[in-house]
Structure 1
Amino acid sequence: MGVRRKFNYMNLLLILVFVVGLGILLYPNISDFFNQKNSSKSINEYDETVAQMNEETRQVLFHETEDYNTTLLSNPVGRFADMTEEMKDEYYSTLDVDGSGMMCYLKIDKLGLNLPVFHGTTEDVLQKYVGHIEGTSLPTGGVGTHCGLSGHRGLPSAVLFTNLDRMEVGDVFSIIVLGEEHFYQIDQIVTVLPNDLSPLAIDPEMDYVTLVTCTPYGENTHRLMIRGVRIEDEKAEEVIENTDSSALKYGLTREQVVNVIAAVMGSIFVFVAVPVLLFPPVPTPKAYIRPWDDNIEEVCKAAIKVSEMATRANWEMDSVTHEADTFAKRRRWDDTLNHTDKLTESDSERPWDEYDFYDESVDYSEEESIRLWDDKVLEKVDQDWSVFDRDRNQQNLKFENINEIIDQGKVEDAFENLDDYFKEELRIGFELLEKSKKGK
């Protein structure tokens, strides 16, 4: 038996509101997922390009970068705006490995990040990647270099440096450039005003990389600068092994964990609750709509009882009708006797003409005709009443017999004792009930 369902438009509106809210909640995760895929693609293409280079080409790129960094050391530039057009052209063309502007990529194991690094800090770059701060050393390392890398925090479309404040002194990150991995250990964390670039100053004796992002989270009134100093590969591997990165692996921050839980719950809601809300089952009260489902025998008994009551009502109605008809005839006869002069106008107005109990050979007077008609009609009415009483008594006896059989629990026998007319009515009714029962 199928369950009837009815479309619910109000629930549809609620579901749309829920889906929109869930989409807003999950947008950062979904967007970051695609951004990470894009970053992974850029990194893979970068590695393939470097792998296809011969050693001579790699060394040329390294020497060009060293020359650029040496120039900065002897003639430091405080801001990109202070650079000449010639210096800007030289900057963008140096260490542009595949022509896309990507110079290296940043790896932070503690945060589970692998981020491409592109020339410049334009908004187009920072919306997707980490940008190299113009006027700082290019990220090939070496004594007398200080590379500055900038990344956005709290973007809805990408994680980037969102969790950079979780880094601590002693943690390690690395720069992969031209197939080489350079490790840096954090030795200083400072917060400065946006226009304070002093922490990016080059030390002729040191090899630094500083990661820069906005702080506090959501306000962005200052800059968080996390500086790392170059260390040996062996030491870096030891530090990385002892670093607990499980809490933030793959960028699973507290907010993201909440979003993941919301995504799971939302998926359950969409696939389980939505069909029920859109097409809620319409309750079918069996006792009201289909009482015969519970006890067909009781329904048969009730139907026979109803048939009995209907028959008795018909007999009573016939009785009243006969009495009324007889009374009307008597009144008419009385009126006719009192107004015999009106009967001669037309034969059609003489009601007794239709009866054949007159002797045509006898010339009745009008009064005699009326009396004769009156007597004969009353005699016929009495005969009808006799037949009526006889049939009614027989029917009452039959119903008494039926009720007795019903009381004995023999419903089928009671059904067989009904008159053919009522039997046929009940048979048709029960067939309709059965068809309805099968069709529900």
Structure 2
Amino acid sequence: MESVLSFLENFFKYSGLWMTLCVICTILYLDTKKDKNEGKEKYVLLKIIGFYILGWISIKINIKTPIVIPIGFIIYYLFISKRINKNYNIKHKACILGVIVLYLGCLNSYIYKALEYRDKSIIVQNLNLKDLRKQWEDAIEKLNIDIGNEILNNMEITSDINGNIKNMSWETYDSINKNKYEVEYNKNKKSMNKLNFKVTKVEENFEYKNSNNIYYDEHKISMFEMIDKINSINFNNMVSSNCAEYKIKYNNKLKSEEYNENNQNYYISSYDEDKCLYNLDLGQKIHFPMKGNIITLLDTNNENKEQINIFIDRNEYVDNQIESIEKLNLCVENNQNNRKSNSTLHIEKDNYLLTQIVNALDYYTWEEVNKEELKDKNDSKNSITISSESDVSLKIYENYQFVYYKYNNDEIIYKCNKDIYSDIKSILKK
């Protein structure tokens, strides 16, 4: 049945071609039916075409049920038909042909929309996270779905520990065709598993047409891009060993996630080409605030509802740090020589230098430590203090492996390689 509906959908989709061919043939046929007994008439073929166009002209009244009025034929019938002296029959038929094509086009549009926006479904045996891209491509081909520049709105997938999908739902928006696509899958042991697909035409003032939504324009992601991200993440490394089933969620309205001690926050640090997987690092307080698209992971059997956040937009958080601040103030202090120097770097003019600094900070391993370990150890006088307008402050001491970090009045102390001081100092001298 689905194949028949797909055939009809394609037939009505391209009906304009065969209708145009039929109109040309009909007009040429009418031209051969000129009445020679009425005398010779110039430009009969052009006049036939003109009467056809006149019959086709209409106005549309957009109410709950749109009404199409053949205003051209009304003008012809009231003011022109009685003034025709030669070849009345063929001109009259040409005008009626225009009316027929007009309403056939309206009927064709109605039938095509009914077929295009029908709910579609396909029988699938199983869906698996690692094979999801190929399975989705096969489903698109079998369902004869023509998706344009689609943008993912939200997603939810429930999977077991082996990647077998139990439930799945997607919602995307096509900015070219102004369509909304909804995909649903529910595994049912008692019946055949169906992948359901629904298309809905959205209104012109749809919320994502708003160009003022700068964040949405920067961080939009397609369904295929999301599938590729999911295929390249090993979720089993992040869930507990006794987890039997977990839920993967995405919502484009979740723009950013501040540091939350109750959640585990990961970011993509690199890509392992041998394993074809992303390497994920657990974010610490120094990495925040971060922004971008976020996948959330939830153990469905966990009563505490602990959530894992995965930032998927960037390979490193460095770009997020640079983009999240408008100006970075760098203060270099050297009390040993009784000298203190201050400098201000701006994000637009000194972007390269700022990137080098943040990369240097990211190069070393940071380990949060207890303040008790620092007793009688702060004997270094030379230091570099880095502070930003977003209430981030980082103080690095010479020959001292501990770094003081402050964010929103929350002081954290990290154990880090003491060479970080000389690295930052050498960058500032460039």
- Report the TM-score, using the length of structure 1 for normalisation: 0.19
Larger helix share, 1 or 2: 1
Larger strand share, 1 or 2: 2
Greater Rg over alpha carbons, structure = 1
- Report the TM-score, using the length of structure 2 for normalisation: 0.19
Higher RCO structure, 1 or 2 (CA under 8 Å, sep 6+): 1
